[in-house]
């Protein structure tokens, strides 16, 4: 089969049968187009180990926008797209390279952008005014920490998305999967105050505001990122702080207070518990306390 035809049918399969978002499909298309363009492969039955080996060499020698080589994580995005494509071909019984022939690049252990509890609290109270913008920004920060939402999920919320009486709501996350998230008393209180002060008719939960407090539409993820950065600086924090940093704080707070890893996985909306396990090292500081408390207590 012609590889362009196979790619087109694969992308349609992702959209129709798997229900993937258009953004995800665009990413797969871009990665596979790069593979096809670089390797010159015309048919799926011409794919072989040598083709992939040369492609990996080419990827490893590419430069990023910052001038250095492509990070291993970035290279893996290309390889994962290829592997998923090959799995699709195998599922259809089409002759091509076996998907397990695609090995991902080894990556270093992921470093988390963590802030202390004191720093987090300083950020949360940084929007300390009573104007609509202050209330909006405080609600954004409190909701990020209360729920562990991804920034894209936060931006997608509407005013009627959240049941304040039940202190919970459902969110559609990655892979179109729906999960339940919960609201803390602090987040509930500030959301209630913020919504009561809103006078516009915009359906979005968080909107851009002009100096005269007129709605200018839904806030974008980039706007939220700038907002978080602004309040981190205002709170006197020099390290980089993003909405994802607050998501990290949500996860580590749960684990440090005794939550089990599976529950945290569900609340974060991770498809695989291995993704959640990057947070478990933050509880390592408790290991010293356990060691000192229990080790060789009967040796005297």
The catalytic position among 31, 55, 78, 279 is: 279
The catalytic position among 7, 83, 248, 270 is: 270
The catalytic position among 20, 83, 247, 248 is: 247
Phi, psi for 242 (deg, rounded to 5)? -130, 170
The catalytic position among 20, 150, 188, 248 is: 150
**CB crowding 34-45: b at 16 or more within 10 Å, else e:** bbeeebebeebe
Phi, psi for 20 (deg, rounded to 5)? -70, 155
Residue from 195, 130, 124 nearest 157 by CA: 195
Radius of gyration of the CA atoms of the chain, in A: 23
Contact by Cβ (8 Å): 231, 96:
no
The catalytic position among 56, 72, 174, 198 is: 174
How far apart, in whole angstroms, are the C-alpha atoms of residue 1 and residue 15? 21
For the question of residue 270 being annotated catalytic, the response is yes
For the question of residue 174 being annotated catalytic, the response is yes
For the question of residue 291 being annotated catalytic, the response is no
Residue 270's H or E segment, with its range, is none
For the question of residue 43 being annotated catalytic, the response is no
For the question of residue 295 being annotated catalytic, the response is no
Q: Supply the residues annotated as catalytic.
A: 150, 174, 244, 247, 270, 279
């Amino acid at each position: 089969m012609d590889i362009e035809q196979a790619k087109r049918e694969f992308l349609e399969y992702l959209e129709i049968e798997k229900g993937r978002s258009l953004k995800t499909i665009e990413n797969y298309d871009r990665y596979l187009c790069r593979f096809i363009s670089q390797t010159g492969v015309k048919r799926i039955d011409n794919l072989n180990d040598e083709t992939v080996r040369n492609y990996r060499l080419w990827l490893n020698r590419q430069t990023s926008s910052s001038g250095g080589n492509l990070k291993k994580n970035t290279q893996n995005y290309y390889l994962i797209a290829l592997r998923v494509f090959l799995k699709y071909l195998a599922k259809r019984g089409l002759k091509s390279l076996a998907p397990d022939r695609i090995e991902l690049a080894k990556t270093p252990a992921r470093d988390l952008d963590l802030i202390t509890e004191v720093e987090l609290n300083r950020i949360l109270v940084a929007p300390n005014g009573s104007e609509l913008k202050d209330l909006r920004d405080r609600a954004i920060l409190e909701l990020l920490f209360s729920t562990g939402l991804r920034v894209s999920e936060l931006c997608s919320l509407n005013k009627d998305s959240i049941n304040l009486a039940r202190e919970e709501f459902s969110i559609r996350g990655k892979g179109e999967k729906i999960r339940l998230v919960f609201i803390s008393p602090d987040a509930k209180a500030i959301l209630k105050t913020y919504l009561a002060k809103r006078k516009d008719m915009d359906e979005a939960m968080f909107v851009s505001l002009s100096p005269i407090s007129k709605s200018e539409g839904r806030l974008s993820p980039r706007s939220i990122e700038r907002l978080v950065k602004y309040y981190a600086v205002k709170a006197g924090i020099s390290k980089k702080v993003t909405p994802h940093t607050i998501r990290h704080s949500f996860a580590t707070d749960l684990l440090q207070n005794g939550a089990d890893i599976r529950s945290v996985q569900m609340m974060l909306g991770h498809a695989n518990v291995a993704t959640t396990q990057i947070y478990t090292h933050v509880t390592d500081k408790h290991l010293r306390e356990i060691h000192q408390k229990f080790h060789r207590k009967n040796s005297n």
